[in-house]
Structures are given as structure tokens and as C-alpha cells.
Amino acid sequence: MKPSVTVIMPAHNAAKWIGAAIASVLRQTYGEFELWVLENGSTDGTAAIARGFTDPRVKVFELGPVGFQGALQYAIEKAESPWLARMDADDLMLPDRLQVQMTFLREHPEAVFVGTAFAILTPFGHIFEHLPRIQTRQVDREFLGVGRGRFGDPCTVFSRQAAREAGGVDAEFTMGDVPLLFRLLTRGPGWQLSQPLYIYRVSPRSMSKHRSFLEECFRARRKYAPEALTKLPTEIRAASFWDKIALLELIAGDGKAVKAAIAEIERETNFQREALHMKRLASFGRLASAVYAWRYRHQFRRRADWERDLAGLEHTPAAAQPAGRAGNVLHVVEQRGTG
């Protein structure tokens, strides 16, 4: 029996986190799925870690240096499931993600994709839910065109048939799901659920943190939703990744993590003022943490319950297996062109 949904996980040099990502997929309450790990040109043993999982639902495809879009297109062309669920190789799913999304799609047969709200996981292991929670809402071209309003691309489950009918990925772009989402909207409506079902790992190495990724998002909106450009900023402002992390760790009350984040800010060239400001705050210790937790209580809520629930995934046994050890999984090597 073919699964109703294939989780597609493009993976490039994701050895540090892919074990936890796969483990979070395998603990889903929804049973009718398979997981395709679409390894594309890694040099750090990513594929070997994925092959270490013996669950037959895990299938590893070594595609060569086809990039993110090439991996996505491969799944659109080759998967047999009617639905494809996106998943990044460094993120985590909450256990009922697929169950909730697939139930929604059964109840809304006109929908071509559905995303969810998401929480963020800091480099120091703390999880924060965005507040206030979004309302379940329909996603149109203008919505995507003005910055998505906390729409998480890798939280999306989409129709494979609709993607094929829309022409698949847009070869003009190399990163991210935004162009494909615009194309999907030509085939039917999209939705976003209010329930946070996905944990996005924030990292300075994440694709979404790269300036080139942000520039591609602007270009995609210029191509697919030019009418929304007047609502976007005219330039990408420089910001310190670690400054935001230091603030979140201050809210969490983790003094060691705050100091570690400040040390990272100090290594940056243009953010010494931010480093000095955070040092002054940190000097007040628990008092500063209490004040800032209260100040940002309507923007972020720490989810210590999710931290406890997901903690074991960060040390999943497969991640510790030696390179080259293959489990009982489908292992496909396809050397494809980069075009």
C-alpha cells in the first residue's frame, strides 16, 4: 500500500542535526507516510547518518550536487504519494504535525497546500512559541508577497499533482520554497493553521539567514507578486543574529547562554554597541531576566514542556553510528547534473 504522504527532506551538510530531524519524523502519530532524505552533495557524512536508521519508511537518495531546488524537483517528479510534506534537515516536527495537516486536507479538498505555525529552537536548546498565535487563515499571493507574516515554508504539505501541473520548481531560483508556493496558488488555495506543529532551528548557518536567500525571496515576490512590493522595505537591513539569541536566552533565564551569545556578538565587526548593551543587561542577572520575560510576554513564550519532550531526539543513536553503516533502508545513488 502506497503512503498518502511523502516527507521530503533536502539535506546538504546536515550531519550535526539530521539524526534528530529524522527521529522527530518517525515518532509521528500519523502512520501513512514515508520519509525521503534527499542528500545533495554533502561532504560531512550526512547520507551515512541517514542510512543508519533501520526503519523501512526511511529512504535515502544521494542525488549529487543538484542543490535544494534540484532535490525538491526530484521528489515532485518521482514520489508516488499524492501529498508531499516539506521538512528541513535541521528542524524538528511535533508528534501530531502530519495528523493535523492531513485531517485538514481531507476536510478541505480544494486546498493545494497547508502550512502551520511554528516555534523556534535556539542554538542553546530553548524553544519559544511566537505570540500572539496566528489565526488559521487562507494564504493568497499578496500574503506571500509581503513577507509571509510568519509563514513557515518547511512546515508545508502540498499536492504533488498541483506542483506538477504548475510546472514544478522555478529554475530561475536556487533556494527556498517561495517560488513553488506562488506557483501552487495558480492551481488552488493555500492555508496556514494556527497550531504550532513545527520547530525551526535558528542558526547563523541556516539557509534562511543568508543574504542571498533573502535577495532571492525579494526577486520571487518581484516576479510573482509585484503589486505587493510597495509594502516591503526597500533594502535588507543588517542585524546581528546573536543579538536576538542573547535576548531570547535572557528571557529564558539562562545566564551561561546569554554570555556565550554576547561573546559571539563581540566577534562580529559591526555590532559592538549591541554587545555592550547586552553585557549591561546581563550584569543584572535574574532581575534582568524577570524584567525582560515580563516585557516580552506578549511576543514570546518559552515552551519548556516541548524542550523536555524533544530533548532525547538531539542524541538519537543513529547520529552516533559510524560512517558507512547502512540500515534496512532504500539507498539510491543518482548522480544528476547541476542545471
Beta strands in 172-229 (DSSP E): 190-201
Query: What is the rounded (10 degree) CA torsion for 274, 275, 280, 281?
Result: 70
Summarised one tens digit per residue, pLDDT across range 252-273 is 999 999 999 999 999 987 889 9
Q: How far apart are CA 307 and CA 180, in angstroms?
A: 32
Q: How far apart are CA 94 and CA 2, in angstroms?
A: 24
Residue given cell 536566552 in the structure block: 249
Q: Are 102 and 4 in contact (CB under 8 A)?
A: yes
Q: How far apart are CA 181 and CA 267, in angstroms?
A: 37
**Mean pLDDT of the residues in the chain:** 87
Q: How far apart are CA 156 and CA 34, in angstroms?
A: 16
Q: Which of 8, 22, 217, 263 is nearest to 123 (CA)?
A: 263
Q: How far apart are CA 129 and CA 208, in angstroms?
A: 19
Summarised one tens digit per residue, pLDDT across range 90-128 is 999 999 999 999 999 999 999 999 999 999 999 999 999
**Right CATH for 5-203+314-333 from 3.20.20.30, 3.40.640.10, 3.90.550.10, 3.30.360.10:** 3.90.550.10
Mean pLDDT value across residues 210-232: 78
- CA 320 vs. chain centroid, Å, equals 23
C-alpha cell of residue 295: 516585557
Domain ranges across the chain? 5-203+314-333, 241-302
Per-residue pLDDT at 247: 95
CA distances from 254 to 88, 242, 251, 312 (A): 27, 15, 8, 20
Does pLDDT of 13 surpass 60?
yes
Q: Which of 258, 256, 312, 291 is nearest to 26 (CA)?
A: 312
Does pLDDT of 328 surpass 90?
no
Per-residue pLDDT at 8: 98
Q: In b/e form, how buried is each residue of 72-95, taking b as 16+ CB within 10 angstroms?
A: bbbbbeebebebbbbbbbbbbbbe
Mean pLDDT value across residues 232-259: 84
C-alpha cell of residue 258: 546569554
Helix (H/G/I), strand (E/B), else coil: 110? coil
Does pLDDT of 287 surpass 80?
yes
Q: How far apart are CA 137 and CA 7, in angstroms?
A: 23
Per-residue pLDDT at 315: 65
| pTM score, whole prediction | 0.89
